[in-house]
Amino acid sequence: MSIQVFGLPVSRGVAIGRAVLVASSRVDVAHYYVEAAMIDAEVRRLGAARDLVVQELTALKGDVPEDAHDELVALLDVHLMLLQDDSLSEATRQWIVERHYNAEWALSSQLEVIARQFDEMEDEYLRDRKADLEQVVERVITALGRLGGDSFDNPPPQGQRDFAGEDPLVLVANDIAPADMLKFRRSVFTGFVTDVGGRNSHTAIVARSMDIPAVVGAREASRIVTQDDWIIIDGDAGVVIVNPSPIVLEEYRFRQRQVELERARLDRLRHTPAVTLDGHPIELLANIELPSDAQAVLDAGAVGVGLFRSEFLFMNRAGRLPGEEEQYEAYSKVVKALAGLPVTIRTVDIGADKQLDRTPQQMERVDHNLNPALGLRAIRWSLSEPEMFGEQLRAILRASVHGKVRLLVPMVAQLREVRLLIEAIERAKAQLRARAQAYVDVAIGAMIEVPAAALMLPSLLKYFDFVSIGTNDLIQYTLAIDRADEAVSHLYDPWHPAVLRLIAQTIAKAQELGKEVSVCGEMAGDPAFTELLLGMGLRSFSMHPTQVSSIKKRILRVDSSVWNKHIDLICEADDPQVTYGRLQTAVPGHVGG
């Protein structure tokens, strides 16, 4: 039977494929594909982990005191029985052999299948045995961790789709943390569905940047969908169709082909210079997360990297942060690949919804922070960790000898912090000179993400060479909205008059003071804002590589001088979006999307 699940549309397009559920186990589970030659070894690893748990439980059973309650021994017997049940052991083996899942993923997938069967049982006692099953699976997953294995940080090449069979795959989960999104972005998934999240949650932003259809806030999706169900993700309407009929399936496959044709047309603009109708050249830069993204920048026709989010180098590392040499190699790889094109490296922006793996002691410190979006994050965190910050600054400075590097600092708001920043940079330079290691004096920029920074821009620009407007956080902090909080995410509004006025004022003031200004947040890659930003005088946009061609297409059809005349009218309106919409039908400098 076909079922429709409704959520929030956050990334356009259509994805069709087999559902892969990420289990909500209390134990972290790695998800990666196993090389064909390693299948037997992975099956043996699963068996060894099971045998290890059997030994542990048998030993526990032997140590039970004679006066212990009989139910304790009975419980251990139940766990031992579950470990050797074919519905768990043999079926898990099939996930490894047929789908090339690693043992942990296979085990958690089979847990989802069996847990559904327990939920449907009428007998309350039998339903309650699901908890025993979960405990057994978690024991085996923990044992697998002790035995070791591959890491998702080193997944098979992108092209090896045959690992999962011929069918495309879509990911279904309760939620996907930013660190997990970093893993999954390099996998074979063609779409995402989550139970929770808002239009501007990190999951939504990453899905858009990957140009992958996604629906978030779909509530019970991960409970309704079962492993291997065929599902359709309609990223335009925010609908997930489970087990669609043949007619519906064919209709959506037709829509997929139309999207692919449009992408092919956009690809032809790749090497066309981005110039407005009134002759203004526009700089289209790309946002990246990892060194491996450098080739995508060149393939998209971007003219440089406007934002290298260095914090992703620090994530998924079990608390072990990258040192100076590792960072230097990562930054240098991008700079060399760009071959003279500018690379803007943002210092680590940890905090809020992007957390590092932490030790229990560090977690205790974090738990006291009731609102991480307003806590120790970005430049605040870097200044509180001078050794780590010094390593990063030295690595960035050393990479500058290989090309044009610019250093960008997130969440600037206080002149006191700016002075400490400058001191840290000078200290890093002195340390490199003492080592006789080469570096180049790089341009230093401030991210304008806090209203205070926008309002005190003239004072800030005494210390900085350029500014980059991070619209995602600027909107969040201007409107006092936690964009990761579903309860208020509907109030997150990039069209709010206060937001538009701050952006317009920042662009105008930076240009008046002779400083370069760009926008690197979500608005830069959203065609709905292209004319508006051009009218404000913006000449540098930075976005995910997949968004470059669609924004370029828009730019080629815009007369920015005409839109400039209407900026005050739009920004001063009670409802700027309505005013903007009316002008789009009347302004001659707009020739449709």
Residues 6+ apart with CB under 8 A from 451: 474, 477, 478, 502
- Enumerate the β-bridge partners of residue 194: 173
Mean pLDDT of 500-515: 97
SS3 440: coil
So which residues are the catalytic ones? Answer: 202, 520
- Given 213, 246, 264, which residue is the final one in a domain? 264
The token pair at 112 is 């989802």
Q: What is the pLDDT of residues 92-111, one digit of tens each?
A: 999 999 888 899 888 888 88
Q: Which of 40-44, 141-145, 492-496, 587-591 has the lowest mean pLDDT?
A: 587-591
Does 309 carry a binding-site annotation?
Answer: yes
- Output Rg (C-alpha) for the chain, integer angstroms: 26
Q: What is the CATH number of the domain that holds 251?
A: 3.50.30.10
Report yes or no on 152 lying in a domain: no
Report the alpha-carbon distance of residue 184 to residue 22 in Å, rounded. Answer: 11
> What distances in angstroms separate CA 493 from CA 80, 208, 406, 413, 479, one per listed residue?
54, 17, 30, 22, 8
> What distances in angstroms separate CA 285 from CA 90, 113, 189, 409, one per listed residue?
50, 45, 26, 18
Q: Taking the CB of residue 526, how many other CB atoms lie within 10 A of it? A: 19
Same domain, 110 and 166: no
The token pair at 446 is 């401030």
Does 317 carry a binding-site annotation?
Answer: no
Q: What is the CATH number of the domain that holds 470?
A: 3.20.20.60
Same domain, 526 and 468: yes
Q: Residue 37: pLDDT above 80?
A: yes
Which of 259, 273, 204, 238 minimizes the C-alpha distance to 544?
204
Q: Which position has the higher pLDDT, 359 or 328?
A: 328
Report yes or no on 24 lying in a domain: no
CB 118 within 8 A of CB 129: yes
Mean pLDDT of 585-592: 63
Which of 200, 222, 244, 170 minimizes the C-alpha distance to 482?
200
Average pLDDT of the chain?
85
Same domain, 285 and 232: no
Helices and strands (DSSP H and E) totals, the chain: 25, 16
H/E element, 59:
helix 39-62
Report yes or no on 434 lying in a domain: yes
Mean pLDDT of 354-364: 47
Same domain, 63 and 176: no
Domains identified in the chain, total number: 3
pLDDT of residue 319: 64
SS3 242: strand
Q: Residue 335: pLDDT above 70?
A: yes
Same domain, 139 and 212: no
Report yes or no on 25 lying in a domain: no
Does 186 carry a binding-site annotation?
Answer: no
pLDDT of residue 157: 39
Same domain, 259 and 277: no
Q: What is the pLDDT of residues 14-27, one digit of tens each?
A: 999 999 887 554 45
Q: Which position has the higher pLDDT, 227 or 41?
A: 41
Q: Residue 153: pLDDT above 60?
A: no
In the DSSP assignment, the letter for residue 154 is: S
pLDDT of residue 353: 52
Same domain, 417 and 530: yes
- Given 94, 124, 147, which residue is the final one in a domain? 147
Looking at 356-468, list the stretches that DSSP marks H as alpha helix, in order from N- to C-terminal side.
Answer: 360-367, 378-384, 386-399, 415-435, 451-455, 457-460
Does 270 carry a binding-site annotation?
Answer: no
pLDDT of residue 347: 97
Residue 82: band (very low, low, confident or very high) from pLDDT cuts 50, 70, 90? confident
Range of the domain at 352: 272-586
Residue 113: band (very low, low, confident or very high) from pLDDT cuts 50, 70, 90? confident
CB 556 within 8 A of CB 275: yes
Question: What percent of the chain stands above pLDDT 90?
Answer: 53
Same domain, 124 and 167: no
pLDDT of residue 75: 72
H/E element, 303:
none
Report yes or no on 30 lying in a domain: no
Same domain, 227 and 333: no
pLDDT of residue 12: 85
Q: Taking the CB of residue 136, how many other CB atoms lie within 10 A of it? A: 23
- Given 217, 238, 264, which residue is the final one in a domain? 264
pLDDT of residue 539: 98
- Give the CB-side neighbour count of residue 564, counting CA atoms within 13 A: 12
pLDDT of residue 588: 64
Same domain, 295 and 246: no
Q: Which of 138-152, 223-237, 375-389, 511-525 has the lowest mean pLDDT?
A: 138-152
Which of 240, 263, 220, 167 minimizes the C-alpha distance to 545?
263
Q: What is the pLDDT of residues 154-212, one digit of tens each?
A: 344 333 444 445 688 898 988 876 656 656 665 668 898 998 887 777 677 777 777 78
Same domain, 206 and 316: no
Residue 117: band (very low, low, confident or very high) from pLDDT cuts 50, 70, 90? confident
Which of 522, 516, 21 minimizes the C-alpha distance to 229?
21
Report the alpha-carbon distance of residue 276 to residue 588 in Å, rounded. Answer: 13
Does 86 carry a binding-site annotation?
Answer: no
pLDDT of residue 323: 94
pLDDT of residue 513: 96
Residue 125: band (very low, low, confident or very high) from pLDDT cuts 50, 70, 90? low
Q: What is the pLDDT of residues 383-412, one digit of tens each?
A: 999 999 999 999 999 999 999 999 999 999
Same domain, 378 and 351: yes
SS3 556: coil
Does 162 carry a binding-site annotation?
Answer: no
Mean pLDDT of 522-551: 95
Place of tokens 């060149």: 298
Q: What is the pLDDT of residues 418-455, one digit of tens each?
A: 999 999 999 999 999 999 999 999 999 999 999 999 99
Report the alpha-carbon distance of residue 590 to residue 99 in Å, rounded. Answer: 50
Plot region of 525 (φ>0 → left; ψ -120 to 50 → alpha; else → beta): alpha
Q: Which of 117-126, 387-396, 492-501 has the lowest mean pLDDT?
A: 117-126
